[in-house]
Amino acid sequence: MKAITVEPKKPGSARWEEVSEPDVSEGSVLVEAVAVGVCGTDVEIVEGKYGWPPPGQTRLVLGHESLGRVLDPGPSGGFRKGDLVVGIVRRPDPVPCPNCAVGEWDMCRNGEYTERGIKEIHGYMSERWRIEPEYAIKVDPSLGLLGVLLEPMTVISKALEQVVMVGRRSFWEAETVLVTGAGPIGLLAACGARLFGKEVHVLDRVETGPKPELVRALGATYHSGSILGVPFEPDAIIECTGVGSVIADAIQKIGAGGVLCLTGVGGGGLSGYAVADVAAKVVLKNNVLVGSVNANKRHWYKASRALAQADRSWLGRLITRREKPESFEQALQRTPDDIKVVIQFSEA
Ligand SMILES: [Zn+2]
């Protein structure tokens, strides 16, 4: 079979090449790839900035936003031939740390977790892949290709859960939610918050095109420009840009008792705010800044339910381009109108 592989930390080493069939040791469920979404992490790995091959190997099969069809469910039960499934990305560290020991691998404390397509385990950009049944999530069959959006939705399921859990420290329930960034994560955050029945606002740089239209189609309000120009103080902000100036302004803008959940990972961005002034604002307004990354099985389950509830035609508009695996290089090039690009291996 063929797979998209890369030699991590070596720029320009990605290839669509012949590899051996997945080994039974990788899981008892055999899956035919349908599609794999591309995200910034994949681009970073291909650029040689990130990623680790499996121990004793030099190349890594890329891809972590999976969707596949079960070819052979194996002996475990629970799956049937033809089921649409998505593979969980992270595996607990082998020590394990207390959080991994209780299934909270998203909260791993020693950093020794592994991740498919990113860190020491082959990913899902191969014609066939195997998975342990306990790490495969069944997708509502009516979603079809849209099931490829499940992995990004898990990031949002966890982030929203974190906001709700932090909010329990006092008499508080978010009514207004501001999402910063209208990329796939931001748009799915807006979709998720709407499913919770919240008043949702989304802020991004662009003023025209599909992003403002997609926000309005959710019944949410679109803003462009600075957060400081948003005419109210949000109860919760889901930060999805990782841009320093946006984060700094979000801290200024969050309402009293409000929660700012950071999901974007960026770098740099000196702010004009003095640290103790920022701290004083956070103290005097009882704000919480909480970082959220990855997702555990509970979030995968919640995300699969949320995706199944979401409007199919709206979700379909998030997938702006489909590329063949042999054209993976085009899939990794982002154009201004792209929201989510997927590499399609077979029909859903
Ligand atoms: Zn751990």
Ligand 1 center to residue 103 CA distance, Å? 9
Q: What is the pLDDT of residue 270?
A: 82
In the chain the first and final C-alpha atoms are separated, in Å, by 19
Residues with CB under 5 A from ligand 1 (ion): 93, 97, 100, 108
**334 to 42, 271, 328, 329: CA distances (angstroms):** 12, 28, 12, 10
Q: Which pTM does this prediction carry?
A: 0.96
Pairing, β 340-344 against β 319-323: parallel
Ligand 1 center to residue 97 CA distance, Å? 4
Q: CA angle at residue 308 from 302 to 309, to 5 degrees?
A: 90
Distant-in-sequence, close-in-space partners of 289: CB < 8 Å, separation ≥ 6: 251, 260, 262, 282
Residue type, 126: S
The three-state secondary structure class of 6 is: strand
Ligand 1 center to residue 114 CA distance, Å? 9
DSSP 119: B
Ligand 1 center to residue 106 CA distance, Å? 8
Ligand 1 center to residue 95 CA distance, Å? 7
Ligand 1 center to residue 120 CA distance, Å? 15
Ligand 1 center to residue 60 CA distance, Å? 22
In the numeric block, which tokens belong to residue 185? 């994560």
Report the chain's C-alpha Rg in angstroms.
20
Distant-in-sequence, close-in-space partners of 303: CB < 8 Å, separation ≥ 6: 150, 153, 154, 156, 157, 295
How far apart CA 266 and CA 255 sit, in angstroms, is: 24
Ligand 1 center to residue 109 CA distance, Å? 5
Number of H helices, E strands in the chain: 10, 19
Dihedral of CA atoms 312, 316, 318, 321 in degrees, nearest 10, equals: 170
Ligand 1 center to residue 295 CA distance, Å? 13
In the numeric block, which tokens belong to residue 92? 């607990």
Local confidence pLDDT in tens for the 348 residues of the chain: 999 999 999 999 999 999 999 999 999 999 999 999 999 999 999 999 999 999 999 999 999 999 999 999 999 879 999 999 999 999 999 999 999 999 999 999 999 999 999 999 999 999 999 999 999 999 999 999 999 999 999 999 999 999 999 999 999 999 999 999 999 999 999 999 999 999 999 999 999 999 999 999 999 999 999 999 999 999 999 999 999 999 999 999 999 999 999 999 999 988 789 999 999 999 999 999 999 999 999 999 999 999 999 999 999 999 999 999 999 999 999 888 899 999 999 998
